[in-house]
Amino acid sequence: MTIKDKVIVITGASSGIGKATTELLAKSGARLVIGARREDDLKEIADEFPKGQIIYQKTDVTDRASVKSLVGYAATHYGRVDVLYNNAGLMPISELADLKVDEWDRMIDTNIKGVLYGIAAVLPIMIRQKHGHIITTDSVAGHVVHPGTAVYAGTKYAVQAIMDGLRQEQVANNIKTTMISPGAVNTELFSTISDEKTRAQIEKDEKENGLDAEDVARAVAYAIDQPDKVAINEILLRPRSQK
Ligand code: NDP
């Protein structure tokens, strides 16, 4: 199966990496089922392509039933799910001593539990199919920690562990796993940083030096477009100028 034959579900598809990936895969002929909270933005993306190629559903990945419903929509509509791309995420970074505990909760709920809910929704389907591919947007922050990124990096380290456990457990069912681990990418992600000074600095750096979301989308497409026997377990990509 090449990309054009696949049914692909993507969370966090309303902006940034999820949106760019949806558009690239749709141009390659895939059938997409996309979710995020901003339904109008999903509709706008779907409307760029022939009717029915991209279908969408308002989805909150912190709500298990909502993620199950998105994956169920794909399975009912197409009779199968070939790829689930768990991409939704938040990054309200701050130092631990600032005690932004609500933001810690939101990151854990979205970046970790959101991924787990995606896995819970799709795994029974893929086990039944005896084939599938689960992709997650991890991060360079899943490999290194800096002051201010402890909780965000913690969520991405957790995703590394979850995905590697999943990979080992599902070999026999022909289910592949991929982590896409970008460095800085110029997207809306930084709008979730509540400290204005930090946000302004990071936004400036990303605009000047970050990858474009399309650069990451090409990495996702590469991982999807492999022969059945090839599993790309992780792609780590940084802007050339990032240390
Ligand atoms: P964006 O902010 O542009 O995209 C984030 C997406 O996640 C949006 O579509 C947003 O949609 C969605 N989202 C957030 N919360 C929820 C939720 N509760 N339920 C459903 N969807 C949700 O940023 P990016 O494209 O950069 O982020 C995508 C992923 O990439 C994240 O996992 C992020 O951690 C990761 N990443 C980003 C890097 C970067 O430098 N930008 C670097 C490394 C990793 P909506 O608001 O409509 O719900």
Residue 75 domain boundaries: 3-237
pLDDT tens per residue, range 74-90 = 999 999 999 999 999 99
pLDDT surpasses 90 at 129: yes
Length of the chain: 243
201-214 burial, b for 16+ CB within 10 Å, e for fewer?
ebbebbeeebbebe
**Alpha carbons 71 and 92: distance in angstroms, whole number:** 27
pLDDT tens per residue, range 173-222 = 999 999 999 999 999 999 999 988 889 888 888 888 999 999 999 999 99
Nearest to 84 by CA among 48, 46, 116: 116
pLDDT the model gives residue 31 = 98
pLDDT tens per residue, range 223-243 = 999 999 999 999 999 999 998
CA torsion angle for 60, 165, 145, 148 (degrees, to 10)?
30
171 found inside a domain: yes
Please tell me what DSSP assigns to residue 190.
G
The mean pLDDT value for 140-158 works out to 97
Task: Establish whether this prediction's ipTM goes over 0.95.
Answer: yes
**Ligand 1 mean position, distance from CA 12 (Å):** 5
**For residue 136, what is the domain's CATH number?**
3.40.50.720
Q: Is 85 a catalytic residue?
A: no
Please tell me what DSSP assigns to residue 12.
S
Domain count, the chain: 1
242 found inside a domain: no
**Ligand 1 mean position, distance from CA 42 (Å):** 14
Please tell me what DSSP assigns to residue 210.
P
Lookup: tokens for 156: 């991405």
Rounded to two decimals, the pTM is 0.98
243 found inside a domain: no
Question: Which of 189, 212, 215, 235 most suits a substitution to test ligand 1, by most atoms within 8 Å of the C-beta?
Answer: 189
pLDDT the model gives residue 207 = 83
Residue whose CA is closest, atom 41 of ligand 1? 185
